Amino acid sequence: MLTLMKPEIELYAREKTASHGDLLEKLTTETKETMEWPEMLTGPLEGRFLKLMVTISGAKRVLEVGMFTGYSALSMAEGLPEDGELITLEINDKAIEVANRYFGNSPHGKKITIKKGAGLDSIKELTGTFDLVFIDADKVNYSNYYEAILPKLKTGGIILVDNVLYSGEVLDPQSENAKAIHAFNEKVSNDNRVDKVLLTIRDGVYFIVKK
């Protein structure tokens, strides 16, 4: 679990947050047992936050960039109305196979469409506008995803971006990923097209609203 919080505070926050239920618990267990980098799962605290963001925003059309085994996609789909739609972009076949099975076992799975391939290519093919977008794929492309998505986001629409504190490395960025995320954060903080709050949930979530 990626978090900058003291472990006991993180645990306390999780205990005081709604349960993610049995299916997401099973998905988490299988991901930890069978996948490389299981810490990429957004997990219960951020997952419940994403679900509530979808619910309270009244979003009906959601886009996710970086699905992995489907934890955040299923969490957000829970917050959608019955006729809501979530399109999720993923490049990894094994992750898609796991996610598809869990989507098939959830009453919310029918709201989800997986688009396989490189995220930037897939975004170019998407038509219509989105109400809420969650960016959680390759960090070096965060700025590219942002620019590609902004024209497809409705006015008042929300972009949530994961890992924007990158385990604290943004304070002194050395790796390629940390540099890319810091540059992205600089870009957003100076962008007059959007309003924004950088939330310190887990590894940092940028909450961006299109003006």
Write out the residues near ligand SAM by the rule CB under 6 A.
Answer: 40-42, 66-69, 71-72, 89-92, 95, 118-119, 136-138
Give the nearest distance from C-beta 211 to ligand SAM in angstroms.
26
132 DSSP 8-state letter: E
What phi, psi does 81 have (nearest 5°)? -70, 170
Q: Can you point out the beta strands (E) in 31-163?
A: 61-65, 85-90, 112-116, 130-135, 153-162
Give 49 or 157: the residue with its C-beta nearer to ligand SAM.
49
Give the nearest distance from C-beta 99 to ligand SAM in angstroms.
9
Helix, strand, coil abundance in the chain, percent, nearest 5? 50, 20, 30
Give the nearest distance from C-beta 88 to ligand SAM in angstroms.
8
Give 137 or 158: the residue with its C-beta nearer to ligand SAM.
137
Give the nearest distance from C-beta 55 to ligand SAM in angstroms.
18
| 198 three-class SS | strand
Give 119 or 157: the residue with its C-beta nearer to ligand SAM.
119
Radius of gyration of the chain (CA): 16
Give 41 or 188: the residue with its C-beta nearer to ligand SAM.
41
